Structure 1
């Protein structure tokens, strides 16, 4: 229906000439300009590149084993994230400006694209973490970038909640999951609110000179967010796990999507640990010192409780990671595994668990967790580079990002052919 309305709405091609005619019916041309193809097909999946580069920038910046040049690599990931976010946001907004209701209808009618809209605020959250972490601690940044990161966090918190509500309300109104397999991407909005929590903890803990007066409201709201992320993530994971038990692994092309199960567990565990540290280690509750909860005395057991719950979530996150690796290896042995853009789903969810490992290494002074963290960072950077190489190759071949042949027109012509 989205495609048909688009054709009826736009009966002329980009140059202003009459559209092609076949059997007396008007339709747009099968071949499009490169710009039109880029904008018309641009989906929220592309924001996973911002998410992946942003989280790798954070991991390399906080890696337990530092060497000369690693901070430069972190800065490169940050700049890459920033540039991609600006460019992709402009293209995504252009899609709705140019195609309006048809673009909106295509997104909300897709059970995959709809939850992937949560990737947009998550991408912004990676910048919200890295901007104060890198810029406020530089000699030229300081408090101005701390305030910038603080404001960005409140914007991203509201944005993530709005997207979460919109996605699930739209799902309830438009989609019925009784007879179809619900995509694993439906977990992403839960990951987004957990990402709000861990980002808030990073902003108030690792930014330059954040006062307890500014920090405590962020910590309180972040605890609410991580609770929402844990509970919603567990509920959705239960439903999706039932699908795996009753219907088996997802199709071969969607094998990497199983890694998304890791996201709510890893991100929530990391958020809890960093929030506990913000309250106790960084002295935000002690500096605020009001009531019975916002005190230094309450911060100590709170920090311990956060670490304990984080360990429980870590165990579940590790199981999901092992299951995800298993399905990839199984498909590889059956020669059913081939690269596709969905492989971007590997990096960010796994990186949330690695972030949690890095916090556990600090909390326990654990050499084992430090080694695991460093090894996983190397693996994730390797996967990122592999994805980048395949993506650039596909773009150069015209199979991705700029696909001149309009799939909407192609589908319509195929349907017309069947009706003859």
Structure 2
């Protein structure tokens, strides 16, 4: 990063001052940027589900959701352009031990847009959005399934990893499937055909099982890694929050799937199974919420320790946002199902934290994108030397 700082200082008021040409932004574009669509999307969804009689919150949430759609389209166009214009450099991502993990952020970012179609699109545009949501969901499922197995396969065959360099970013390609599972739980009750409802519901349970046990096994290894080798480098500080993601999404997925399971299973002549699924969904949701509480408390302590020492801003800071957001939604969902004021109050507190954190991270991201110094691809640096610091740090 030292070679671009003088450019930033000399051209602080000029857009993309840190880059030699605007085209360089495409050349340096990485999947890390899609983490911003995850964070913005989850905040949009949370604002539309708060148990507060404030219509303006939903208006703000819808505006954020629409903005997030534009952001996702922009990022998709830029990343597709990189593959067309700079194919040789773009393909290096598959061998990078950190940046490759961020492929999982693409389907997870898309999932927040799909979920927004039910919350915001349905009241605005009517039932026509359901067919669009269904088509996008199957695309999201395909991407999540591919990320969940192909990235680990490349970890085992092409990439170099060490236990002392492991971080929670290992979770990103795996968790995409359980995010798709939660989206499937939202989609199923909106479908008119009973067989399609059943197919989506069963597929969603499979996606949950495809992801959650693997994610929990990664968390076990992560605990051992931190006990033996202590905290990761400060450039990976936000990764401590990523552990909350699969736990919060796992809880939310079981709660959402279980809520409509009785009616869907009953339509297939399996009413008893549906009642079991509903009860199991609630119990698993509560248990996972408790596990998430432990991880959140730990992440807060770790973050305070990092901030006392000072940490540099990078795109990895978006790792603070989505995990906290999905945990907040699962908290609000428990409050609605259990009719307990504690969960509602806790959910509101979490959302307040989320808004503050999103404001800080979004503001610094906009400033960094405007100046251009956030457009740095470790994969390009790795072409020159496989031992470059930017290759090791991963979160640009």
- Short-chain TM bin: 0.7 to 0.9
Deviation at 1:407, TM superposition (A): 5.7
What is the Cα deviation at residue 358 of structure 1? 1.3
How many residue pairs align between the two structures? Answer: 368
The answer on whether the counterparts of 2:48 and 2:58 sit within 8 Å (CA) in structure 1 is yes
CA distance in 1, matches of 2:59, 2:109: 21
- Structural mapping, 1:74-223, within 5 Å: 74-105=61-92, 107-138=93-124, 141-178=125-162, 181-205=165-189, 207=190, 210-223=192-205
Name the counterpart of 1:326: 301
Aligned partner of 1:342 in structure 2 is 316
Structure that is richer in helix per residue: 2
Structure having greater relative contact order (Cα 8 Å, sep ≥ 6): 2
Residue aligned with 1:137, SS: helix
Q: CA deviation at 1:267?
A: 0.2
- Aligned match of 2:232 in 247, 250, 255? 250
**TM, length-normalised to structure 2:** 0.87
2:72–2:110 contact (8 Å) kept in structure 1: yes
C-alpha contact (below 8 Å) 1:111/1:183 kept by paired residues: no
Question: Which whole-Å CA distance do the structure 1 matches of 2:277 and 2:95 have between them?
Answer: 43
For residues 67 and 211 of structure 1, do their structure 2 counterparts lie closer, same or farther at Cα, with a shift above 3 Å needed?
A: farther
Name which of 352, 356, 360 aligns with 1:378: 352
The 2-side partners of 1:337 and 1:183 are apart by 16
Matched, 1:265 2:244: no
Quote the RMSD (CA, aligned, Å): 2.2
Gaps of 5+ in 2: 1-17, 389-396
Does the 8 Å contact 2:148/2:211 carry over to 1? no
Query: Which residue is equivalent to 1:285?
Result: 265
Structure 1's 289 and 130: CA in aligned 2 closer, same or farther, altered over 3 A?
same
Higher mean C-alpha deviation, range 301-310 or range 265-274: 301-310
What is the aligned partner in structure 2 of residue 44 from structure 1?
31
Quote the residue 1:298 is aligned against.
Answer: 273
Deviation at 1:220, TM superposition (A): 0.6
Flag structure 1 segments of 5+ consecutive residues without an equivalent. 1-30, 415-420
